[in-house]
Structures are given as C-alpha cells and as structure tokens.
Structure 1
Amino acid sequence: MNRDMPNTPCQASQLRRLSRQLIRQLGLLDAACGNQPLSPVQAHTLIELGQSSYSIKQLAERLNIDKSNASRAVSHLVDKGFAKTAANPKDSRSLMAQLTSNGKKQLLKLDEQQNLQFNEIMAQLPNEQITQIESSLRQYNKAVTQSKAQFGFIIREITAHDNAAMAQIIRQVSAEYGLTADKGYGVSDPTLDDLTQVYQASNACYWIIEYQGKILGGGGIAPLNNQPGVCELQKMYFAPALRGKGFARRLALQAIKFATEQGFDACYLETTANLIEAIKLYESLAFKHIDAPLGDTGHDACEVTMLRDLS
C-alpha cells in the first residue's frame, strides 16, 4: 500500500468523468451560450462586469483564465456593444471594462435564460437533494481552490533526514501559541528529535509537507497507548507559510483514511482550547468532544479531548 496516496486512481477517474459529463450537459463546450449571442467565456465575462468594472488583469483572475483570453472576451463584448473600456485611473497602462446599457439588457436576458434552465433542472429533484447538491458543490469548489493553492507542495512520509527540521517547526509553532515544554504539551516529548523512530510500525505513519526542498509542517497517526483498537492523530504542526491552504484538513483526512485501512475502530486526539481553528476543523471532520482523556499520552495540559468513530 502506498501510504502517501489517499485516493485511488479509480476515484479520480470517476470524478473526472462526472465533471466532464456535467460540463457537456450544461453546454459549456458550445460555441454559443444557449440562444444568446455569447460564447461561454463571454457570458462569464458579462456576468462579472455586471458586478463591477474590472481591468483585464482583474477579470482574468476572477474568471481563472489567462489575460489574453480575458482581453479577447472583452474585445468581443465591445464589438457587440455590450461593453466599453476606459483608462484605468489607478494605472495608465491598463484599461477598465464596464457594461454599456445594451450590455446590462443582455445580462438580464442571459440571467432569464440561465434561471429557466436551472429551474428545469431543479424541477427533477426534491428539495432535500437540491440542498445536498448545493452543499456538495460548495465543498467541491473549495477543494478545487485549495488544490490550486497546494500546487508545488509535496506530501510524503518522514525520513530520518527530516527529523531536525520537523522538530524545529514543532518547537517554533508551540512557542508561537504558548505551548511550552514545561506545561506538558507535545513539544515536551522526549522523542521529538527522532520522529521516524516513533512511526516505524506498519500501523503508524507521519507525513511531512515540503515546498522546494523546505520542510513546512507535518502530522501523523499511531496506535494510542493502552487503548486497543484506538489510534491517535498526533503532532499536526504547520509553519505560517503553510497555513490557509487547506493542508490541515487534507492531512487529517489522509490520516483518517490510513487509520481506517489499518482496521482501527476509533481515532483520538488531544488539543488545547486556544487552538480555536484546529478545534473547528476537527469538529467538521466528525470528531466528538469527550469528557476525559484516553491512553497515556503524557500531555496533561491538553484539556480538549476528542474522538472519531471509524467503524
């Protein structure tokens, strides 16, 4: 088993197939957007300009396309009388695009067409499924955004060569949050400088995250002492450069999947109340608060204890 790959090629292939099918069904590969005199990219540009005036660079960023495509889309809208450009008051080297009165009328027609299409789609579904689809699409969009933010980063198993760098990150992040060694937090563990030895067992693993050869964080999972069938999510620490990119969720999900494959019945963790964002993350991953600690971790100062069922 490859412990660095949380998803199977089959899952990726299936999601790709469904995504392609959805794009085709919605007509996003057509030359025109329904019966409107707009290509899909021109329609998306029109919608964005309906919110505000933008420079070509800003439109490219909002539409997630390159500047040349954004420029062509604006030029076509200008040719059709739906948009106009003017000098950018903040940058004389660029132009600002905005809708004309005809463009605003065209946007209303586009909205009417799209609303009709999606009302027809939703008429096939009960309300609870519509709500579920909305939630799933939000999560899918967020995952796409995070995957782009994570481009170029590498997640892999720790090696002895990584021990010193990872120990330094744990100490730095602990100090940042006031988690000092004298208070019984993970930074006080005697094994901190030799993490590879802690995760040698086949049912334990520690992953590090690196970017351009630099270690920026990590997290692991291992059996919980004196608790058969229970594992512990351990030592999730991230340098500031790694935060806000979704790595905490990704690494926690990878650890949970690994633990499930190893046959554990539950996953335990300990943290502290001042790590508010971490607690919210664990709650979103179905970890439940429990009244008392489990096992013999030695982390007496970690007053927040949580458990997730894996069965």
Structure 2
Amino acid sequence: MPNTPCQASQLRRLSRQLIRQLGLLDTACGNQPLSPVQAHTLVELGQSSYSIKQLAELLNIDKSNASRAVSNLVEKGFVKTVTNPKDSRSLMAQLTCIGKKQLVELDAQQNQQFSEIIAQLPSEQLSQIENAIGQYTKAVVQSKAQFGYTVREITAQDNASMAQIIREVSAEYGLTADKGYGVSDPTLDNLSDVYQADNASYWVIEYQGQILGGGGIAPLNGQLGVCELQKMYFSPELRGKGFARRLALQAIDFATEQGFNACYLETTANLVEAITLYESLAFEHIEAPLGDTGHDACEITMLLTLSKPN
C-alpha cells in the first residue's frame, strides 16, 4: 500500500522513542565524560585521523558542530590536532594516548549496553533487525540526496523533455530505435497521452524546473490482470540518489491498489544496474515474454507477483 501520513507519523514516533531510549538526547554518554557528539567523534578518530570537514561529513553534522566537538575533546586531553600533511592550511584531529584509553572504556560501556538490549530479543530476530535498520538508514540517506527534487505525474508540458531523456539514455546504452527497444515507440513524444487511464500512471522527476527522469506503469497488452513497469529512464545527474527504487516502489504500490495480480517488465543485459534493482525488489526471471509490448529486442523478462491490497 502507498505510504500514508499515518505511517509517516508512526515511524517518526518510533524513531523519537529509539533516540530517547538510547540516551542520545542526554548531555553525557552513559557514565563517560563525553556528550553523544563527542563520543561519536571519538569513535571515528579511533579509525583514522580526520580533518574537521571530514568529521563533519562522517558524522552528518555541520562544520561548526564538528569543530566544537574536537575543541572540547582537545580540552579534555583526548584529542590533539596536527598540521594536515596534504594541506598546511587545515588541521587533522587524532587521538592521544589518553583518548585511546577513553575509547576503550566507551566501547566497553556501549558493548555492555547493547548486549543487554540483545538479551531481550530472540536470536532469530537479530538478523531481521539488523537488516531492517540497514534498510532504514539507507532510506534516510537517500531521502536527503533527493531533497529539493519533485516526483509528480507527467503533463503534456513534460513530453518533449522526457522524450529527449529516453533518446539520450537509450543512445548511451546502445539501445537504438531500429532494434525494437522502447525508444522506437511511436508514442514516445506524447507520453502524457499514453497514461490517461485510471489504471495507468507515469511520474517524472523534476529539479529546479528541469525534468531529469521518469517511469510509469500501465496494463500489459494482451495479458489480463498483469501490468507492465515501463520507460524507467534517468539522466546521469539523477543516478545514484535512489530514485529508480523509489519510482519502482511507487509503481508497484499503484499497481497493487489497482488490483493487478502481477507486474511484468522487459529489459536488456546492457542495463546491469536496473536488473540488480529489479531482483532486489523480488522480480523473478521468467523464460518467455508475456503480452504484446512490441519490444522484441529486450531479451530479459521478469515478473513480480503482487499481494492483494488490505
């Protein structure tokens, strides 16, 4: 089912509770003479020496906050700063001998805390929790990378831009129109007209007034109860931000709501990243094509069975 404000509110509530229970709002990290930010800084410096800028990026905080944390640790004697050998205008922070001892104490305290947490859980749930937290963290990172972008339904004003993207990306991967790929579709310049039906939709991704990619879903010609994931194309500057997964998930949710039994797609071995994505979303390879797409050059066919909406 599509995300709802209620689900977003619930996830916010659970995140707040977790942050509070782990003591991340406290002024001190357990019984250590460290704030949470200082503790995180100490942990990173236990791996290597870093500049303030590097620490800010690692900790996902602004440079002034990172600088303040390092200054506080220097005052405590846990950290010292030295001239950056690669840039004499900047300093590198590194642990002192006292700082290394403090890190050992911090690790022992944190390991004990999380051992106590683990003791409350069945062992078979631990890998599920690790996987879920990993996915949640990745989603947080991707949502930040997508800040400022808009995902919306296509309009007639977007047709020319989206057609150009499809042609450029197809050429980039050698998917020429004479070989029966999607770039050869006669409706390519009028995509907004193709997705007018209630059980079809196409979404574009816009940034500062510029269309950078899109993808859609529609009933599969000649196959009752099956839809097709169609025309997922992204400009180079859009890639690596998680939009392909986001659009695919949005399309799958839409298809499920529309009552389709399965979602079909065709692609080619040239699109290695796309195939990996579809496999991660539980699409399964099938031996023969379904329906009538007109894309006889796409040798890879995949199908996802859809669950019934609640």
TM range (shorter): over 0.9
- Residue 296 of structure 1 aligns to a residue whose secondary structure is coil
Aligned match for 1:189, one of 185, 194, 197: 185
* CA RMSD across the alignment: 1.0
Cα distance in 2, alignment partners of residues 89 and 279 from structure 1: 44
Map of 1:50-69 to 2, 5 A cutoff?
A: 50-69=46-65
1:214 corresponding residue in structure 2: 210
Paired AA for residue 212 in structure 2: L
1:154-203 superposed Cα distances (whole Å, 9 cap, x missing partner) = 11000000000100000010011111111100000000000011000011
Give 1:11's aligned residue: 7
Instruction: Specify the alignment match of 2:122 in structure 1.
Output: 126
| Aligned amino acid, residue 240 of structure 1 | P
Instruction: State which of 152, 155, 160 in structure 2 corresponds to 1:159.
Output: 155
Counterpart position of 2:272: 276
Please report the TM-score for the alignment, with normalisation by the length of structure 1: 0.97
Q: Does 1:229 align with 2:187?
A: no
Confirm whether residue 261 of structure 1 aligns to residue 277 of structure 2.
Answer: no
Aligned positions of 1:278-297 closer than 5 A: 278-297=274-293
CA distance in 1, matches of 2:68, 2:177: 59
- 1:30 pairs, out of 22, 26, 31, with 26
In structure 1, the residue corresponding to 2:294 is in which secondary structure?
A: coil
Q: In structure 2, what residue type is equivalent to 1:297?
A: T
Q: Deviations over 1:127-165 (max 9, x none)?
A: 221110101111111111111111111110000000001
Letter in 2 for 1:310: L
Q: 2:108 is aligned with what amino acid?
A: E
The CA deviation string for residues 76-111 of structure 1, in whole angstroms up to 9 with x for no partner, is 111111001112222232211110000000000000
Q: Percent identical across equivalent pairs? A: 83
- CA distance in 2 between counterparts of 1:121 and 1:29 reads 18
Kindly report which structure 2 residues correspond to 1:16-165, keeping only aligned pairs within 5 A, or say none.
16-165=12-161
TM-score, normalised by the number of residues in structure 2: 0.97
**Corresponding residue to 2:172 among 165, 176, 188:** 176
- Cα drift, residue 64 of structure 1: 0.6
What SS does the corresponding residue of 2:196 show, helix, strand or coil?
coil
Instruction: Determine which of 298, 301, 306 is the counterpart of 1:302.
Output: 298
SS at match of 1:226: coil
For residue 158 of structure 1, what is the amino acid of its counterpart?
I
How many angstroms does 1:210 deviate by?
1.1
| 2:113 maps to amino acid | Q
Q: d(CA) in 1 for partners of 2:259 and 2:156? A: 27
**Which has the higher mean CA deviation after the structures are superposed, 120-129 or 14-23?**
120-129
Separation (CA, whole Å) in 2 of partners of 1:282 and 1:257 = 15
Deviation (angstroms), 1:6: 4.2
Q: Partner letter of residue 218 of structure 1?
A: G
Question: What is the CA-CA distance between 1:117 and the residue it aligns to?
Answer: 0.4
- Greater CA drift, 278-287 or 5-14: 5-14
